[in-house]
Structure 1
Amino acid sequence: MTIATKTKYQLETFWVPGGQDENPAYALSLTNNTDQPLEGFTLCVSGPARIDPEATVEGGRLLTRLSNHAEFAPPEGFVLKPGETWTVKALGMSYHPKHWTDGANAGYVVLADNNTVPVSVAPTRAKGDNAALTRGSVVYPVPKVAPVSVSVVPWPSAVSVSGRLAPPVGLDLQSEGAEADAAVQSFKSLTGGLFPVEGIVRPAAEGGFPVLLTLADGLAAEAYSVRFSTSRVTVSASASTGFLYGLITLAQILRGARLHPETFLFPASGEITDEPALGWRGVHLDVARQFYGTAEIEQFLRIMAWNKLNRFHWHLSDDEAWRVEIDAYPALTEIGAWRGHGLKIPPLLGSGPQVTGGYYSKAAIRQIVALAGNLGIEVVPEIDVPGHCYAMLQAIPELRDPAESGSYFSVQGFPDNCINPAREETYRVLETIFDELIELFPSKIIHIGADEVPLGAWSGSPEALARLRDVSGEAMATAHAARLNVITNTHGADEIDGSGAAVLQAEFLARIQNFLASRGCVTGGWQEAAHGNVIDKSKSLLFGWRTVEASAALAGEGYDMVVCPGQVYYLDMANSQAWSEPGASWAGWSDPEKLYAFDPVEGWSEAQKKHLLGVQCCIWSEPMTDRGVFDRLVFPRLSALAETGWSLPERKSFARFEALVGLMPILYGVYAEK
């Protein structure tokens, strides 16, 4: 028999939004469950909640604040007796928490001898909200009567089927030619990974229904047709990806008919013809804030393929971590891939005092890229520069001007997080890193970030100010130097157009793009890469994350655009405004229906639409410590985005989507309690 015991120390956090009689306040209460007094200690917590560096703190002192990592000390001489609680209250947050995952989700006590003790942390509660906290994907039950007779997500271009066969137990695939053979092997691997015991692919000896794959000239690479008869199914395509997508559609129909025969049928006749509306149907995954192992990435790629998504934007570096092996600079992963108490990168975003993190070896990356290629997915790596480089600078401090003084701060509360564009060492290091990356990623699209450079970046660097003086004159350099030690970006990302930071960033971007172009690569960047209008539009693409209107304006300037506005397509945003929902809401919120109905090119002119590459959802991982939160935030919104990218607007129907999406797989299998 197991006897339950209390943890030594327990932390509860509480958010008071403020009102007529009280100011907004964030309270942290530590309870001593031991039989010994606690003294000479400090309390460390990590967010996403960020204490404002100028906050007033009651009941203790704020010793350290690095982004969402905060260390508090009680008053001098304070003793936390057994069974008692100490409360420290911060009157000032960098942003006001809106959801239960905004608060502290990890903590530990540092004892007087510098040893650490983990603390049990309860989800943050908000004053006036007692609703049950939610996690796990919302369950979308398959109805008895659906708007359509076959189950396919995303919905095809044309569906004309009739009759009903008894659903076969599996599919006996008969391929002709290299393209079809490759698709069969990929499909076997895909279904075996997603549905290992269903036996979707099986020989005739085990009851597999004949499926013939035939080459059809004239179809686009991702297009296909599926023709049904009583004796066999014929899948036609011109390329392996088209064959794979045809087989995925057929398998979705089979699963629907087998699992819900009262709702869906397996057709006896008719045809489905299909091709995507948009060429770029992407998903961005941030692996810097939280780390996902190779097995998780591979399963996520399988789910992407099942949704006919074809671009995996892999966010491999940020302030919080560096996640890719670089032979020339082993310190990047030795230092930048790990967080923990006493390390150069402290516990952040739910990591405790123990060493946590990880990185992708080159062997793992090759394995992942190969799987993606077999599934029709291009992998686009991102190394975010020149901002969001705190982890990189901890590993390679030479990328900062050694004479730099003072500090500037990023929107996420990291000091001095930009590599210096005025240093030749910066370009030598980056060119070496990019050369190693290019060898790993055959897509030859290298995303360089370029977002959220702080307004005061490099304002204390003599090298940067000298370069700015040469380029833009004394007045600009003097104005920029005045931004040193000014706490900017406390509540949002500053617009830097026209600033010294924008001028220096533009010089940096032009040089990096020229280098990548010399290696035969296209440069990707967030929309801030357009600062200064210096990058070659014919060799670049931009990702519009702020608004549809901003993306349209950039398209009008001739930039090729992937549309991913944070208000709707950022999947770390909560499903509703309720405190009980996990996620964030600094950009907005969007439930599956809102995302599904969203028009990514509303108001665009025909000339602007010529520069539309496609759409992408972005998974930022700040709230993803709990994988049940991942499933709730990502699914089924990922499938809603997939249908926007694949199906023409006039073919969309949320009522149909809602009836079918419950059959789509999710990553961790965590569903919300009914």
Structure 2
Amino acid sequence: MLTQRQHALRLEATWRPATDEAPQAYTLNLKNLSTNTISHFTLCISGPGRVDPAVRIEGGTVGRRLSNFTEFMPPENFELGAGETWSLAISALSWPFQHWTDGATAAYLAFADGSTLSLSVEPTRSLANNAPLKRGAEIYPVPANPPVPVAIVPWPSEVSVSGKRQAPPGFSINASNPLAHAAADAFATLVEQLFAVEGIVRSASEGGMPVNLDVVDGFAAEAYDISFAGDSIQVSASTRAGLLYGLITLGQIWRGAHLHPHAFRFPVEGKIRDEPTMGWRGLHLDVARQFYATSEIKKLLAILAWNKINRFHWHLSDDEAWRVEIDAYPTLTEVGAWRGHGLAIPPLLGSGAARTGGYYTKAAVREIVAHAGGLGIEIVPEIDVPGHCFAMQQAIPELRDPKEAGSYYSVQGFPDNCINPAREQTYQILETIFRELIELFPFRTIHIGADEVPLGAWSGSPEALAKLREIGGDIVADQHAKRLNVITNTHGADDIDGSGAAVLQSIFLARIQKFLAEQGCITGGWEEAAHGNVIDKDKSYLCGWRSVEVSAALAGQGYEMVVCPGQVYYLDMANSPDWDEPGASWAGWSEPETLYNFDPVEGWSAEQKKKLRGIQACIWSEPMTNRAVFDRLVFPRVSALAESAWTRPEDKSWERFKALAGLMPILYGYS
């Protein structure tokens, strides 16, 4: 068996954009830096970029391929001698690479005896750009003379303060009401998690300045007032959330004055009045493509609370993994939560040969939900169905028609990844899963995905075609059967509206939404859940991801909308079109200023705006193969989203935001 000590090998990759003289080329160079010859091996890579089904390759051939996992076979009887390099040139990809994270981020050799050898992988270099690769959050420096006297993000409705005094050592919070006690405890937990050594909350004996919490009727649900009067501070609100937000604002003012005393002041007197413009201020996190431990989720939730974000959309399943414990179906996590060489789910998106992954136990979910609730954040779990179910099907094969033949492919390159809407067993399984989920999430809002079902979905299933013939007629069923083995969405999600796939999905959605409503739940879905116009608009909402115009049209049809267009609010999109920036590019790119100034309801009528729940940013984790890339893509853009959701449009100011954003916490702090 080969070991890393015996063999020093390195994979280097380059990208050459297409020119008038030459096509695009993704070149992999496997360098044998050891003194040994190796043979009888294949090269396996994973990363966001995907080799196209119509692969064109020089130097070898393709073996197994699943989405972004590809196995490359060297020529017959090939040996890689000491000091030699094996080169593969690939010109057919699912999209042209745009950023350094598009290339392979993990690789290994698989040998005939079943052993594997992990490789050192260098970031893909562009032959057209040799700038240093960017990682880590961009921290805007605090200017010497910021445009406002106090540091608050998102900016409040009214700030009328005067005077300047030295920031106190911290705050001693006085509460005489159960709501006030709960808010004080939540704030103490929050600052301990985010800024433990700063001592923002401290006793009077340690110099804490008294802050009195006052529960007063008449405030909106998340509104608050702060009054400064000499050595007295009062925070007033009608709810625990309002009091907590007031304390967060006070903590931000303190940190600005404490850390940058020459730039910001701690007021002597005056008042701050505040309430949000939107009720839904959200962040979506995909934990299927990359796994984030409970500790990471809790820290992220604390950062969301500091930004006054109040919804956490938790994307718990996708083709690449299943991430939540379900007692009735333990194989969901035994099989679906792990990737690796020889497993049902191969290495994907930067995972290597070793078994990697994870899932959230029910105890962990309850811990996270309780933590979020204390911070004023409601959690919406998502189980993405009927598409994006490759991992789910590996764990529960009964979700597929056993007589289904042929294949169809999702836009991400997964075959036959949709659970079957014509099988009664499908609904029995899903209802069992959702019952267990509902018990875990008291917000009683369940997101069911419904996005990116391929045009050819179920075209080889006798059960599905029989159901389609029953409800749509022979012509529709026969047309749909012709889509079997026809590769469609390799470069963009199919528009399935009006197709047999849409008809089958609509009966699925109607039944699942009805079931959830009977359990007292609101059903969330991506905008494709509107196919067939079958879900109850009074008991559902949609996330509009394609464009503001699509969201406006759906609002005009009566759907409640959370606006999250990929071009701007998808935080996996790169900060610029430059190669040295990490991230994805399929929806475009969005620097923080672009996101901050974006109008999510531009062109909406007054009637359409009545259907606006709010906005959310979405973190899709494909390019986030290390945590420094996460920081780079998420911060400070999540704070820009927070201010867009909270602050009145006429009160927004990019220059003010940029001066304050450097004070906001980030998750990892890697560079």
Q: Corresponding residue for 2:558?
A: 558
**AA in 1 matched with 2:541:** L
Which residue is 2:244 aligned to?
244
Query: How many equivalent pairs are there?
Result: 668
Distance in 2, matches of 1:6 and 1:230, equals: 72
User: What's the counterpart of residue 198 of structure 1?
Assistant: 198
User: Shift of residue 57 of structure 1?
Assistant: 1.4
1:207-245: CA deviation from partner (whole Å, max 9, x where unpaired): 000100011110012100000011210000001000000
Instruction: Give the deviation of 1:184 after TM superposition.
Output: 0.4
1:153 Cα deviation after fit: 0.2
The aligned counterpart of 2:27 is 27
Maintained 8 Å contact 1:366/1:440: yes
Which letter does structure 1 place at the counterpart of 2:653?
S
Q: Which amino acid aligns with 2:219?
A: L
> What is the CA–CA distance in structure 1 between the aligned matches of 2:148 and 2:173, rounded to whole Å?
26
State the shift of 1:6 in Å: 10
Alpha-carbon separation, structure 1, partners of 2:328 and 2:491: 37
Structure 1 306/479 Cα, relative in aligned 2: closer, same or farther at 3 Å?
same
Contact 2:57 2:91 in 1 (8 A): yes
The 5 A counterparts of 1:140-539 are 140-539=140-539
Q: Which amino acid aligns with 1:168?
A: P
Q: 1:216 to 1:417 in 2, by over 3 A?
A: same
Matched residue SS, 2:86: strand
Summarize deviations over 1:473-498 as a string: whole Å, max 9, x none.
11111110000001111100010001
Q: Deviations over 1:530-554 (max 9, x none)?
A: 0000000000000000000000000
- Describe the SS at the equivalent of 1:197: helix
Tell me if the contact between 2:7 and 2:36 (Cα under 8 Å) persists in the aligned partners.
Answer: no
SS in 1 for 2:188: helix
1:67, 1:414 within 8 Å by CA — same for their partners in 2?
A: yes
Is the contact between residue 543 and residue 562 of structure 2 (CA under 8 Å) also seen in structure 1?
A: yes
Question: How far apart in 2 are the matches of 1:163 and 1:18?
Answer: 61
Partner residue, 2:8:
8
Shift of 1:670: 2.1
* Conserved? CA contact 2:46–2:347, under 8 Å: yes
Is 1:165–1:230's contact at 8 Å kept on the other side of the alignment?
Answer: no
Instruction: For residue 112 of structure 1, report the CA deviation from its aligned partner.
Output: 2.5
Structure 1 CA distance, aligned partners of 2:373 and 2:93? 44
1:30 CA drift (Å): 0.4
Q: Which residue of 1 aligns with 2:659?
A: 659
Letter in 2 for 1:314: W
Q: Secondary structure of 1:54's match?
A: coil
Whether 1:623 and 2:623 are equivalent positions in the alignment is yes
1 CA distance for matches of 2:505 and 2:89? 39
Per-residue displacement from partner, 1:319-356 (whole Å, max 9, x unpaired)?
Answer: 00000000000000000000000000000000010000
Partner of 2:106: 106
Map of 1:567 onto structure 2: 567
The residue type equivalent to 1:75 in the other structure is: P
TM-score, normalised with respect to structure 2: 0.99
Distance 2:644 2:293 in 1: 29
1:450-477: per-residue Cα shift (whole Å, max 9, x none)? 0000000000000000000011111111
> One-letter code of the match for 1:649?
P
Give the secondary structure class of the aligned counterpart of 1:493.
Answer: coil
Shift of 1:358: 0.1
1:52 paired residue number = 52
With over 3 angstroms needed to count, the CA separation of the structure-2 counterparts of 1:5 and 1:159, relative to structure 1, is farther
**TM-score, normalization by structure 1:** 0.98
Aligned equivalents of 1:566, 1:478: Cα separation in 2: 35
| CA offset digits 1:256-304 (Å, max 9, x no partner) | 0010000000000000000000000000000000000000000000000
Asked if residue 86 in structure 1 is aligned to residue 86 in structure 2, the reply is yes
Which range moves more in the overlay, 204-213 or 32-41? 32-41
Distance (Å, rounded) in 2 between the aligned partners of 1:174 and 1:7: 65
CA contact (8 A) 2:318 2:391 kept: yes
How many Å apart are 1:316 and its aligned residue?
Answer: 0.1
Give the Cα–Cα distance (whole angstroms) in 2 for the partners of residues 670 and 234 of structure 1.
37
Gap regions ≥5 residues in structure 2:
none
- Cα distance between partner residues in 1 of 2:89 and 2:231: 72
* Corresponding residue for residue 610 of structure 2: 610
Displacement of 1:7 in angstroms is: 6.8
Cα drift, residue 625 of structure 1: 1.3
Letter in 2 for 1:322: W
**Structure 2 CA distance, aligned partners of 1:123 and 1:567?**
25
**Does the 8 A contact of 2:563 with 2:616 survive in 1?**
yes
In structure 2, how many angstroms separate the alpha carbons of the residues matched to 1:308 and 1:521?
25
User: For the residues of structure 2 that align with 1:669 and 1:23, how far apart are their CA atoms?
Assistant: 39
Distance 2:132 2:202 in 1: 45
CA–CA separation in structure 2 for the residues paired with 1:327 and 1:432? 10
Say whether the 8 Å CA contact 1:6–1:33 is kept in structure 2: no
CA distance in 1, matches of 2:529, 2:652: 33
Give percent identity, aligned residues only: 66
State how far apart, in whole Å, the 1-side matches of 2:645 and 2:549 are.
Answer: 19
- Find the aligned partners of 1:7 and 1:572 in 2 and give their Cα distance: 36
Q: After TM superposition, what 4+ stretches of structure 1 lie above 2 angstroms from structure 2?
A: 4-7
Equivalent pair of 2:226/2:234 in contact (CA under 8 Å): yes
Q: CA 1:611/1:7 → structure 2, altered by over 3 Å: closer, same or farther?
A: farther
- Please report how far the alpha carbon of residue 63 of structure 1 lies from its aligned counterpart in structure 2 after TM superposition: 0.5
CA displacement 1:163-182 (0-9 Å, x = unmatched): 11111010010012111010
The one-letter code sitting in structure 2 at the alignment partner of 1:418 is C
- Cα deviation, residue 34, structure 1: 1.6
- In 1, the alpha carbon distance for the partners of 2:125 and 2:451 equals 32
What CA deviation, in whole Å up to 9, does each residue of 1:6-61 have, x standing for no partner?
Answer: 97210011112111111112111101112111111100000101000111111001
Match of 1:117 in 2: 117
Q: Is the 8 A contact 1:15 1:125 kept in 2?
A: yes
Distance 1:345 1:90 in 2: 24
Q: Is the Cα contact below 8 Å between 1:10 and 1:121 reproduced in 2?
A: yes
Letter in 2 for 1:606: A
SS of residue in 2 equivalent to 1:297: helix
Partners of 1:7 and 1:375 lie apart in 2 by 51
CA contact (8 A) 1:7 1:120 kept: no
